[in-house]
Structure 1
């Protein structure tokens, strides 16, 4: 059984944003990445309503590494969100989309002088400092430019979320942020406070990704409030903002026990109010950085069925025309997804197959044990909940062009990223002869 409700039309075809998935495949080809924009807007509204009910001052900052295109930044702009970027390329894309620079935060553990200069010159709202080298680089950039900027300090608070080890970022042994336990965070505070051109407005921490429980966030709030109280007493500095990062989990398969934004925010708010009162601190503004939870459930990858390999007494391999080049997460993280036959949505599941990609790697398996109706070449497969980190991590491995991206909303479809061509693959190549 698929772990969520899907819409079908009278032909039994999957509907995405009111558009027949088979029509999308005919019009735009496969493999194809599709986003239901209405779903994105609803996810944002769910976070906003939960915060409004909490009574907290807040900011929702879209973690654009999950999916960053001009069209995505335009939707986020329409919804009035903040956004965080982690590279000069993401910053450039946001600016090309007309996204207000003052509503951007700039993350990253190894920002270059060029990237910091770009951020300062364009008036980025806040730069989130990650290490001592970066403090020095930004100090030099601000001196040359004769200007100032808002900053936050990213801390590693020693809190580890129960996720894949590559997506745990709050524990002490991490490439990100200033370690709290060793005193690095306090030394970073002193260095930043000594630079008048850096306006320290808050502290940030991120404890992991695909988190299903509230305990880690409760511990994080308590830890950051404790740090704020300590810095108030020792340095007469109180952060205006506590940025709790993101990591809110979503449902990929029936095994996932995701909870809604309302549950996360309720527990964050209750813990913040209790901890702040105990420490005699005014309630700070809370920022969060959801990415996956905003775009993940809104995304679908459409593939056309091709070859099939049947092996006696073993699970068959059903191959499609995409794979790890447009969604590397199953191979990289052993990420699990569900899939349906979009042109046979109401047909009963009759077999279990390895849903295989076309790339020249034995590990290119999109869904290891996919329960599907009987298929034949030309059927349309839809992988569900692929909106986060699929297209953003896409590659040209095996010299395959990356797919087009289509936004659907209210029964209308629009290409927002054109399909790459073979000519695009050699556009930057130079002849050696």
Structure 2
């Protein structure tokens, strides 16, 4: 089935028609969200959301579903398979399912997208996944780490230069924007680009043309720009270090990557994936982690996110003398973490223990609730709710 088809054509069994029509007619004349859970012709579709119904009761097409793609959920399920892996991204958590869906959505358009997340969450992997799912996948994917470029080099690196434009420019040089022609330019840590270069980059996004350093000729470019940051760029705008008009240009769409501590249910899946990787590259026969080692890995706050977990598993595989990773094989920061902050299974958690953990975290962070939430491995709003429920004063 395709977007815009009459709903009757989407289902083989006429008995479903009355059920759907009843759902559609409950609020006549209103634009409503409809949730459908039933088999569809040509495959099983377990969930359709954001279905818009025509407002006008006289419209002969009122009983039509306007779906973005009737097979979208099934397609995503097939892409993920049983492994929870989407290209090089891994996760079955709700937050990662949303990310995978955003990748699908944004791969269909050429809009500029801002990928936001802490260091180590996989922002470049998301950018590569969008590129690989897009019509530009046969063309280059050029990644630029803006944080690694000095102000004197960044303009030359991005826009290229003419021979003699500056000392050492012994030949004409194509910039990275031109090198990405037809494909995708990924600007990692875009918040670190100097203000002087931000102005030139804004022109690229407005006019899709560049000027190499040392020449006046305008060159048209056809690239898709994806950007990433771990900064709060809105704060940078307020501070005067980032242009507001550039922020609006790069944030047509947003992908918000969760921190690993906010999707702990994905940790066993990630561990399994990294074990498989390092078995292949090291030749060591490590098959699994012990229950105690897993408890420590699940409890740790992972300030470096997935990248830190990957390195922790690599070290453990190297250290492990047998087939099962033990606690002593783990990095010292994981092994020696504060026992009072270890995450306990929900059935073992008591209000008094929960309160002790929160008070301990607040004490260690000098009362900074954001830092305490990070230390506990929970969202800040979750911490606020628990403090309120346990009678812990907001100001300490």
Q: Structure 2 length as normaliser, TM-score?
A: 0.32
Which structure features the higher share of strand residues? Answer: 1
Q: Between the two structures, name the one with larger relative contact order (CA 8 Å, sep ≥ 6).
A: 1
Q: Structure 1 length as normaliser, TM-score?
A: 0.30
Which structure features the higher share of helix residues? Answer: 2
